[in-house]
Amino acid sequence: MKTKITTLTIALFGWIVFNSNTKPTPDNLNGNISISGAFALYPITVKWAEEFRKIHPNVKIDISAGGAGKGITDVLSKVTDIGLVSRDLNIAEVKKGAFPIAVTKDAVIPTTSSSNPFLSQLKERGIKKDEFNNIFITGKIRSWNQLGFKSAAPIHVYTRSDAAGAAETWAKYFGKKQEDLLGVAVYGDPGLATAVKKDPSAIGFNNIVYIYDSKTKRATNGVSVLPIDLNKNGKIDPEENFYDTVDDLIAAIAAGKYPSPPARDLYFVTNGRPQNPIVVEFTKWVLTEGQKYVHEAGYINLPQDKLTVELGRLGTGAGIK
């Protein structure tokens, strides 16, 4: 008696053989990570979490943005496992146990509305550091004619209302603190970008990812960059003109052409050196495999030697892949 072998039988037999010879690799990483803090780090941290969970699906990662100040407060009070911080830590925070690990880099960029009537001239001549200082700190410059334009219209200055790494870093550019910044205080990076976008007479500042469009790579969200006249000669020379695309800006920051501050490292902060294996594994992954997502997300990769140092501080002997 002949046996009739159908296509379905062959397929079923092949499935049984395959599954009898292959065993799924168990994932022993299981648990939760809670994260809060800087708006600057929020987008890339969400991306990192998504990619990490593809490898470790049993790990749940909760992330919320609320400013660097919230990140520090939450982690030191043990509300969260990781605080996202977009500024250097102060001595008091370190004494309380704040343990920073640098994970990437970005910069705070001065901005105006894309509907600013002087935008084309501003892009050609830029604004000097001392002029920004007199806009944001001393208040000596209050109108556009004080910047050389034929208009007595007031400059509307915007800053952050929350304890923000961006505001602290922008103030540090002038040797000051966030509380020294003048202007209408707005909550969060998205809020500040929206306020500047809606006001043709606005001057503000934002982190890179809230200025440039992730697809076009250009500042096409209604917010435009105000170039800094670094050599103070009254015009933006070719070597100062690196704001056209986010890739141009990232390259300039990496090369040290853009001042630091307002360029700065961004940190994962824990309460003491992390002991939770899940937090350690996630942070280690961010410093190794996770770095391949940094540039495409609009951030700047840390040098390999710095990543190695941060891995060492984390207490792992792993090398950079």
- Comparing 8-22, 52-66, 189-203, 299-313, the range with the smallest average pLDDT is 8-22
- Residue 22: inside a domain: no
200 exposure class (CB count in 10 Å sphere: 0-12, 13-18, 19+): middle
* Average pLDDT score, the chain: 90
Residues 269 and 146 in one domain: no
Q: How many domains does the chain have?
A: 2
Domain limit, last residue, from 254, 280, 303: 254
Residues 153 and 224 in one domain: yes
pLDDT number for residue 141: 98
Give the other-Cβ count within 10 Å of 2's Cβ.
Answer: 4
**Alpha-carbon gap, residue 151 to 144, rounded angstroms:** 6
Residues 101 and 114 in one domain: no
Global confidence as pTM = 0.87
Closest CA relative to residue 190, chosen from 170, 164, 168, 155:
164
User: Domain containing 146: what range?
Assistant: 107-254
Residues 285 and 239 in one domain: no
Question: What one-letter code names the amino acid at 50?
Answer: E
Reported as a single tens digit per residue, the pLDDT across 282-316 is 999 999 999 999 999 999 999 999 999 999 998 85
State the DSSP string of 137-186.
TS----BGGGGT-S--PBPEEEEESS--HHHHHHHHTTT--GGG--SEEE
Closest CA relative to residue 47, chosen from 310, 205, 282, 314:
282
Residues 95 and 129 in one domain: no
CA distances to 29, 33, 58, 108, 286 from 275, rounded to whole Å, are 14, 13, 19, 32, 16
Residues 223 and 99 in one domain: no
Task: Tell whether the model's pLDDT for residue 3 goes beyond 50.
Answer: no
By the 8 A CB rule, do 84 and 67 touch? no
pLDDT number for residue 188: 95
Would you place residue 29 in the very low, low, confident or very high pLDDT band (cuts 50, 70, 90)? confident
Question: What one-letter code names the amino acid at 256?
Answer: G
Residues 247 and 278 in one domain: no
Reported as a single tens digit per residue, the pLDDT across 129-176 is 999 999 999 999 999 999 999 999 999 999 999 999 999 999 999 999
